[in-house]
Chain A
């Protein structure tokens, strides 16, 4: 389902242009509204659909294998931390509504500022630890695994 834009809904804000990983949502020079310039490079990732404040972007299944008359709509809300989907079948017999969380913490609040945490010691630099290790590996006192700790060695040749 490459994307398309409803003429009467789009206000030309450019959010979709900013987000499309394929660089194919562009603003039409005449209408000053967005459109998909290269449907054959659209992954239907819906990044643009989710980013559009006007719900102006929709998808229509790929012409080479998807019959007309279906609908998949999405509404993503960072503040509420949820995403809602609605899938409608071509024959009108099935209509699925689904909801899923997108975050368990207020949006953007969970990631640390590593600039401000205590600097690593020389011992840590010389060890195999990464940030927050070893605690965050096993959540106990255990250290990072090594060949020695796990009773292993590297052997040349076949493995059987």
Chain B
């Protein structure tokens, strides 16, 4: 049966992917655009889609200005330190100054936030994290989005963004297919908020076989946000800045609450503290500006996440593994023990299953920690994503060319993992970014910027053919073989995924090579990715489920290519513990205190790389010189 074409026309705001960022956008758009047409297209079901599908036990980004706890600039400085300087401080400040209102709204909607009984403040896990009973976090925010949206298309996988054919470099909507019906869906829209999330499973995972789905970031995080934007020709930033997580072994259970709230700590296989002994060598690599253990000790300045990974990786390589999380002390307190279990059940059920299966009672035994394979996402301790315009009252000229959170394509906005340079946004910050993007998108429409978009039927026909080609290809060649999955004319999506993961692992600093790469390896990797792209024309899908997997692996492939290009471009080792450029093992501020920005030309497939200046938030010191002539000088921190 030929796929039906279903056209949804005259949309004002299309939300492509409704996780935390997308639901925030759909919700807020209704306020600024009460008469506007708001539509959500989501590949799963928004009640349980995205990285928060199974819930969260903490909101990791909350200032608490209301309780006199932090100001937005404090959070910006923290993110800056953690990311070795490489952040978009305008966007971060903007997110941080609004994030509390998001959290206060969540509380009104019924999200159970724990309180400190004595002080009446929210119960803190750490300086930025508050504790919640968040099993239903996603359905609660989805409910808000559903109330605001005109229509929600669940199970529609977006494959391409649509570009306007009337005006250059302007968005016109998106296309995709319904994973259940096999219909071809066209969304013609004046603006698009891309919220399709980050990427797991592009590097070979630690888990194997049946357990391959046990990745830290959700296995359905297909890098679609990145691929959609890159393919449309949007500029990307910091795509080399992948993240490696130190987590409980095999289950990838969270450690934040364990470290911060339960006061557990790590030690090596022989029971010693091991981190500090790696710090002198690290200070040599990255400079005293980025790792000054004395200053850290005195001022409680945090040690960057990547550098702590570095210590763990090297300690294990030195033969003193495994690294243990010392839980035996804390867990003697029944209250803390209960929190420890809730923490897993609320956000990583598998860790509880694993301890039950292996009889690990953290009261009597210290569980193992290990580092994960790398992930490409932009809202945790990493800042991959699109190069976006910032708010007019904060951003310097290089960071501001239009509407807040608008990319380098007119009318295309983003939120959450999609937005580059904004680490440590987490769930609440991603939702907040969606709200900011939605307000800006409404303004764009009200200013008449989205009028008369044009998409020709020839374009749509071409895309439709491309989308369903994997199924056609399968039909064409399936019967040339008796049975099974080995066919000289095609690979199936799983086979391509394995190929991509192996390639990224070996050439782009994955886990089996101890996160190491160099210029030579990266160039070979790029060649192999190019050949893989040719082969991806011959991907075969047996059914609609496989068609979904086919588009996911295509999106992962494009994301990977961009990561490889960026890793090649930045000739330094900025984040030891995330990855190493073996040919340049030092951090180099003289040449690389910049943000990396790329653009892939959609016509030629060629990448252009550039360096963008880095701005930092500084305190303004007002010194009075003359009678009434205050002069602004910038104080050192």
Binding site for B on A (CB under 8 A): 1-2, 18-24, 26, 37-47, 59, 61-72, 74, 76, 83, 85, 87-91, 93-94, 96, 98, 100-105, 107-115, 117, 119-120, 125, 128, 130-134, 136-140, 142, 144-147, 150-160
Contacts and interface: CB of A to CB of B under 8 A. Distances in A.
A155 B28 contact: no
14 contacts: A1-B349, A21-B218, A24-B545, A47-B48, A61-B353, A71-B356, A90-B358, A98-B342, A103-B111, A103-B140, A114-B148, A130-B439, A133-B101, A153-B618
Contacts of B393: 128, 146-147
Contacts of B110: 103-105, 107, 109-110
Contact of B354 (A47, A66, A105): A66
B608 interface: no
B135 A137 contact: no
A23 B613 contact: no
Contact of B213 (A2, A66, A160): A2
Given A65-B354, A100-B135, 14 more contacts: A43-B350, A63-B209, A67-B358, A89-B356, A90-B356, A102-B133, A109-B110, A111-B143, A112-B144, A130-B432, A134-B101, A155-B615, A157-B614, A159-B80
B213 A41 contact: yes
A120 B613 CA distance: 36
Nearest to B617: A152
A147 B394 contact: yes
Given A130-B439, A153-B634, A66 B133 contact: no
B585 interface: no
Given A62-B210, A120-B31, A157-B614, A100 B218 contact: no
Contacts of A61: 350, 353-354, 356-357
A68 B354 CA distance: 10
A120 B618 contact: no
Interface in B12-66: 27-28, 30-32, 34, 43-45, 47-50, 53-54, 65-66
Contacts of B610: none
A145 B394 CA distance: 10
B126 interface: no
Contacts of B435: 130-131
Nearest to A106: B110
Closest 9 CB pairs of A and B: A62-B211, A45-B54, A110-B109, A159-B616, A70-B356, A103-B110, A114-B30, A136-B101, A105-B110
B338 interface: yes
Most-contacted residue by chain B among A2, A40, A45, A96 (CB, 10 A): A45
Given A66-B354, A154-B617, A157-B614, A47 B54 contact: yes
B348 to A, nearest CB: 8
Contacts of B44: 20-23
A43 B27 CA distance: 27
Contacts of A47: 48, 53-54
Given A46-B349, A62-B207, A23 B548 contact: yes
